[in-house]
Structure 1
Amino acid sequence: MNTAAEKTWFGQPRGLTILFLTQMWELFSYYGMRTLLVYYMTKQLLFAQDKASVIYGTYTAMAYFTPILGGAIADRWLGKRNAVMIGGGIMAIGHFVMAFEPMFYVALATIALGNGLFLPSLPSQINDLYAADDPRRGRAYNVYYVGLNVGGLLAPLVCGTLGELYGWHYGFGAAGVGMFLGLLIYLAGRRYLPPEPPRVAPPVAAAPDVRADHRRTWWLLLGVGIAATVFRGAYEQIGNTLPLWIDTGVDRALLGFTIPMTWFQSLNPLLVISMTPLLLMAWRRRADRGHETSPAMRMAIGALVVAVAYVLLAAVTALAGDARVGWAWLVAFFVILTFGELYILPTGLGLFAKLAPPRLGATTVASWFLAIFSGSLLAGVVGMLWSKVGHPAFFLLLAGLAMVAAALLWRLDRPIRALPRPNQ
């Protein structure tokens, strides 16, 4: 039996655990830095809120634009394993450079460049662990998503606490340590990873029907990417404007103790970790009964649920007026938002990987991250309205964006289901 195919965790190959842990520490570093970023700019660097929003949106956008180039480089020249190791090393350096205030912009650029090689090359290896008809492959992306969120859970508690209580630079340094840990795990577990696929060969003339199928696939993936962009314009506010509201609009008192504002950023990943196994069991039962929801429809449901979460915030802020909102409402918001997130984000990543043409796995997965790039830019622009409109109106705007995304995904569901299944 192939060692990489042994079942060791949730009935999945061992290689998934290695990828899970590597990405967990990479996300620890990314979210650790992101947790501090807006606070650092507004409190330490004394940037105006609208300027900080634009920088935040631009940085997160560039971190997801560089994977387009990085995915092509990995597929054609470096290979996925080399791209992960080189990209992760560059990112670790960037996180440590964040500890030096004059190097702020250089550090952001360095992290974004390293992310370009790392990000598409790691999750695109998941597909290579499974046969094309293996029913576990779709659910593997939800398991993998848990790994991302374990890192996201730890990041605010470690990096956020260090930055908020002891100094921003300690938090940034801890993020760099996390990135190095991820690289060490990846190197130690290489024997469980799938073999490196051949580099992309020179173009060969394909049959007209194959070319037509590929064109239709790319157009539909573009449509899903546009919907994901609109959705991200709302979703990414949890790292942009929502922390500002938590700081000034939420009563964080609990039994005489004031909950640190960065701790609330751990709620989302904590809920992902606790809710994913229950959702996977429910989806597996539906699949066994022959009622499995199609990927695009599942994503549409998720976008609608996120819209409900923002409607809740609009309602409680309108009722509260100038008073602070109890922290329990914030917890309720994160519960609803996370439920919707689990329907849309890992499903979208899995859909792009599933429809990837042969030998273009990293490039196609990178196309999913292009939607995160454009959505992050949109989030930065939308976030500029935070200081210009009332909070209830702003949260209703975010709900509207999520509903538009749901409508687009619902419209794309039937043509996506009609696509031929790729032979990978």
Structure 2
Amino acid sequence: MSHNNSGTLLGHPKGLFLLFGTELWERFSYYAMRAILVLYLTDKTIDGGLGWTTQEALSLYGIYTGLVYFTPLIGGWIADNFLGQRRSIIIGGVLMAIGQFTLALPHSVVDPHAVKAFYVGLTFLIIGNGLFKPNISTMVGDLYEEGDNRRDGAFTIFYMGINIGSLLAGVIAGTASAVYGWKAGFLCAGFGMLFSLLIQLFFAQRYLGNIGTVPAAVRDAAKNASGKKEPLTKVERDRLKVIMVMCTFVIVFWAGFEQAGGLMNIYSQEYTNRMIGSFEVPAAWFQSLNPFFIIICAPILASLWVKMGKKEPNSPVKFALAMFSLALGFACMIGAALEQGGDMTVKTSMLWLIGAYFFHTIGELCLSPIGLSMVTKLAPLRLASLMMGAWFGANAIANYIAGEIGSRIGEAGPLAIFSGIAITAVIAGVLLLLLSNTLINWMHGAESSNDDEHVEVKTAEA
């Protein structure tokens, strides 16, 4: 791997901030569209949506977000073997921009081509995302030599980019949709994607040099003359077992968490009193609470882990804390449902939603960055991409399940769904605590501070 010496900023290669900007605007584009997708589908007014039922909209939302997390498996493989990361990002970005602008095409509710155009737009977004998502994060890792202790900090900075993009998205697309109609929201998403592409096209060569230009398989073949594959050792097999067990719990967590874009989005639109004085808060703004809380809480939590030193909980215990936080978030939603008392005409306090998003965010911070780091510690180097793919695969399953759960709102009612998720999360958390010692044994010291060098974070393909 050859690095471009374009100097540093805040102690990191300038290329990190180029990738930060590229990802910020791509995530803006994704979350802008996600914030209004379900609201657009279910809107029955003259000027706007497709007039679908809540069940149809949430079902499609689950399939869409599931595919968004599944296609990076294929996109990562294509980049590794054929295109290289840089080319994959550009092609993926162009496809996503086409997708967003297709969604923004004007139509009338009676237009028979409206739904066709909508599906074409989503298809472009799914394929483009598959090429873009796995490769931008891999390039962050490629900026650093193996064993460089700045890498964790780099991913924290990168994670902030994702969340700044996400924070801006709900507010800007939500406001544009409320004032000018849904198509304006999709148009904002399209422009966000264009910004991302332009940053990459104009500055990549200068700040990244040749990082990401040569496919990983070609680089690997050049390094490995013998080409022999060694069988997995017992330690490696045990560590892979830990990843697979943790993936199962990840599915439970994200299936609950991902109600944010679907069921909780509809709840904020239909059943929440969003008035502050004479101003009505647009429902899509609530989508910005999660990134807002992440930007505030991530540094606090990161410094807390450092302060705890040897008392810092291990990954399985942090995952259990994530489950309990998810349950607390849904306890807030149970409070909202109880305030309604079965009367769907009653509007509930927005404080319930704010509380739910806060606890969900704390849960995300105990699980998402910890999980990515854990996979890179445990996966054998030659299977690192595959295991990261499996991690995203767990997200794909979870998103599909989330859509299915949300679409049952009509039959089961909000109270049953919120309670069901909260109880499941608590059971999962208790199970993790019971399993934690076994899982730590299977890690064979990967989480202890005096690891062998080959155990330390090898790659970071978030």
Give TM-score, length-normalised by structure 2.
Answer: 0.83
Q: 1:376 aligns with which of 390, 393, 399?
A: 399
- Aligned equivalents of 2:253, 2:96: Cα separation in 1: 27
Q: 1:230 aligns with which of 232, 243, 252?
A: 252
**Do the aligned partners of 1:141 and 1:347 also contact (CA within 8 Å) in 2?**
no
Matched, 1:417 2:439: no
Q: CA deviation at 1:328?
A: 2.1
Q: CA deviation at 1:336?
A: 1.8
Aligned length: 419
Amino acid corresponding to residue 65 of structure 1 in structure 2: F
- Aligned equivalents of 1:282, 1:192: Cα separation in 2: 33
C-alpha spacing 1:20/1:73, structure 2 compared with 1 (3 Å): same
Larger mean CA deviation between 377-386 and 294-303 belongs to 294-303
Amino acid corresponding to residue 175 of structure 1 in structure 2: A
Matched, 1:73 2:73: no
Amino acid corresponding to residue 414 of structure 1 in structure 2: I
Specify the alignment match of 2:94 in structure 1: 89
- Aligned equivalents of 1:157, 1:328: Cα separation in 2: 18
Specify the alignment match of 1:394 in structure 2: 417
What pairs with 1:2-21 in structure 2 (closer than 5 Å)? 8-9=9-10, 11-21=11-21
Name the SS for the 2:412 alignment partner: coil
Q: CA deviation at 1:89?
A: 1.4
Specify the alignment match of 2:291 in structure 1: 269
Specify the alignment match of 1:352 in structure 2: 375
Name the SS for the 1:388 alignment partner: helix
- Structure with bigger gyration radius: 2
What pairs with 1:237-316 in structure 2 (closer than 5 Å)? 237-286=259-308, 289-316=309-336
- Aligned equivalents of 2:382, 2:17: Cα separation in 1: 23
- Aligned equivalents of 1:140, 1:302: Cα separation in 2: 23
**Do the aligned partners of 2:93 and 2:197 also contact (CA within 8 Å) in 1?**
yes
Specify the alignment match of 1:195 in structure 2: 211
Larger mean CA deviation between 229-238 and 390-399 belongs to 390-399
Matched, 1:151 2:165: yes
Q: CA deviation at 1:362?
A: 4.4
Name the SS for the 2:310 alignment partner: coil
**Do the aligned partners of 1:230 and 1:404 also contact (CA within 8 Å) in 2?**
no
**Do the aligned partners of 1:231 and 1:401 also contact (CA within 8 Å) in 2?**
no
Q: 2:187 aligns with which of 173, 178, 185?
A: 173
- Aligned equivalents of 2:94, 2:377: Cα separation in 1: 29
Amino acid corresponding to residue 396 of structure 1 in structure 2: S
C-alpha spacing 1:52/1:83, structure 2 compared with 1 (3 Å): same
**Do the aligned partners of 1:124 and 1:361 also contact (CA within 8 Å) in 2?**
no
- Aligned equivalents of 1:334, 1:232: Cα separation in 2: 13
Gaps of 5+ in 1: none
Q: CA deviation at 1:20?
A: 2.0
Matched, 1:119 2:133: yes
- Aligned equivalents of 1:177, 1:36: Cα separation in 2: 16
Specify the alignment match of 2:59 in structure 1: 54
- Over residues 238-293 of structure 1, what are the superposed CA-to-partner deviations in whole Å (9 max), with x where a residue is unaligned? 0000011111221111122111111111111111112212222222323xx33333
**Do the aligned partners of 2:176 and 2:185 also contact (CA within 8 Å) in 1?**
yes
Specify the alignment match of 1:106 in structure 2: 120
Q: CA deviation at 1:384?
A: 1.8
Amino acid corresponding to residue 144 of structure 1 in structure 2: F
Q: CA deviation at 1:389?
A: 1.8
- Aligned equivalents of 2:119, 2:261: Cα separation in 1: 19
C-alpha spacing 1:316/1:369, structure 2 compared with 1 (3 Å): same
- Aligned equivalents of 1:401, 1:191: Cα separation in 2: 50
Identity of aligned residues (%): 34
**Do the aligned partners of 1:65 and 1:370 also contact (CA within 8 Å) in 2?**
yes
Amino acid corresponding to residue 103 of structure 1 in structure 2: A
Name the SS for the 1:40 alignment partner: helix
Q: 2:228 aligns with which of 186, 189, 205?
A: 205
Q: CA deviation at 1:414?
A: 1.3
Gaps of 5+ in 2: 44-48, 106-113, 447-453
Name the SS for the 2:9 alignment partner: strand
- Aligned equivalents of 2:318, 2:36: Cα separation in 1: 32
